[in-house]
Amino acid sequence: MDAAMEGRVSLRPVDSLDVTILVDNAIDVLMAGSERVRRAPLHPDLFRRVPLIAEHGYAALLTIKENGTTRQVLYDTGLGKDTLLHNLAVLGLSLAELDAVVLSHGHADHHGGLLGMIQAVGRKRLPVVLHPDLWRTRKATFPGGIELELPPPDRKELEALDAHVVEDRAPSLLVGDGVLVTGQVERTTDFEKGFPTQSWLNHDGRWEPDPWTWDDQAVVANVKGRGLVVVSACSHAGIVNILRSARALTGVEHVHGVVGGMHLTGGLFEPIIPPTIAAVEALGPDVIVPGHCTGWKAVHEIARRMPQAFVPTSVGTTIAFR
């Protein structure tokens, strides 16, 4: 992995990118596909076998092709210990060509399947790319006083599996400079204010506010003749901030595709749906696949405002960018 240049990275355009949704909140086995969108295949014995699993988590497999070479980057690993591996098996997919794993941030619904996946792949020194703040022990307080624990991965267990942990706050490049990891995203909008009710257990054993989730990072590819494809798991940094950052880092203006969670669900975040979607719409993506924590109100509004670009998510879906 190469360190990105300060202020601007040289993201090499790739011939094609397939994004396969391996873990997400929703599944519809009868959902129609298209020339660009391939849904999970139907089997005659669908209702006799264990189906694909949906859960409150996220994982996406990026398959990059160039000059006859195929490379893979796994972005997040879902919540359940075995969900990712189960869905890979049902889909008949292999991680044999996996170059690296990128963790979007430290919440458990994005790293729960990490240890099982590394064991299954069996590769020594498999790069696991993350932001240093990912190791924070966190909690979020919800209305009524409910505190939701947000534990980080187990670092000792990860190191015991001989994974190559790569910690970086800065942008970085993978797979021969064909995939960008944004690193820490600059916050530039006045309406994306992070996760206001989140706190972390500091080194003195006291809880302190942690609204910004600085470890939140996305992955980006530049598809030849199309533009940027940005995959974000939760967008705690704010999806508009993330898209702006991707454009600024690469110097590529056009956002061709946006895939993943936008964290616009629930009473705390629904008020920022209008400015968020207006700003995304102004960027003019050709394809938008909102998932995970985007929330039904925001998804409906995206479908209404950007009907030609909108693609509904479903576990097992592959979106082809080429």
Q: Given the structure tokens 């705690």, which residue do they identify?
A: 236
Closest to 294 in 3D by CA, of 278, 272, 309, 279: 272
Q: Write b or e for each residue in 240-249: b if 16 or more Cβ atoms lie within 10 A of its Cβ, otherwise e.
A: bbbbbbbbeb
Q: pLDDT value at position 7?
A: 63
Residue 85's pLDDT is: 98
d(CA 306, CA 299): 10
- Per residue in 225-284, pLDDT tens? 999 999 999 999 999 999 999 999 999 999 999 999 999 999 999 999 999 999 999 999
Give the separation between CA 249 and CA 10, rounded to whole angstroms: 9
Res 143: pLDDT: 84
The answer, yes or no, to whether residue 4 has pLDDT greater than 80, is no
pLDDT at 6: 47
Which pLDDT score, from 0 to 100, does residue 223 have?
Answer: 98
Kindly state the DSSP code that residue 80 receives in the 8-state scheme: S
pLDDT tens-digit series, residues 251-264: 999 999 999 999 99
Please say if the pLDDT value at position 152 is more than 50. Answer: yes
Closest CA to 189 of 306, 305, 277: 277
Provide the percentage of residues in the chain whose pLDDT is more than 90: 92
**CATH code that applies to domain 12-321:** 3.60.15.10
pLDDT on residue 44: 85
Q: Which secondary structure element, helix H or strand E, spans residue 158, and what is its range?
A: helix 155-160
pLDDT of residue 3: 40
With contact defined as beta carbons under 8 Å apart, do 71 and 61 qualify?
no
CA nearest to 215, candidates 191, 170, 183, 239: 183
Residues 147-155, mean pLDDT to the nearest whole number: 97
Rounded-to-integer distance, Cα 321 and Cα 36, Å: 7
Distance between CA atoms of residues 283 and 176, nearest Å: 28
The alpha carbon dihedral of 120, 184, 182, 39 has a sign of: positive
- Range of weakest confidence among 94-98, 167-171, 186-190, 243-247: 94-98
In the chain, the DSSP E strands lie at 2-3, 16-23, 37-38, 59-66, 69-75, 98-102, 127-130, 138-141, 147-150, 164-167, 172-174, 179-181, 198-201, 207-209, 219-223, 227-232, 255-261, 287-291, 318-321
pLDDT digits (tens, 9 = 90+) for 67-80: 999 999 999 999 99
pLDDT for 8? 86
Q: What is the mean pLDDT of residues 155-166?
A: 96
Q: What is the mean pLDDT of the chain?
A: 95
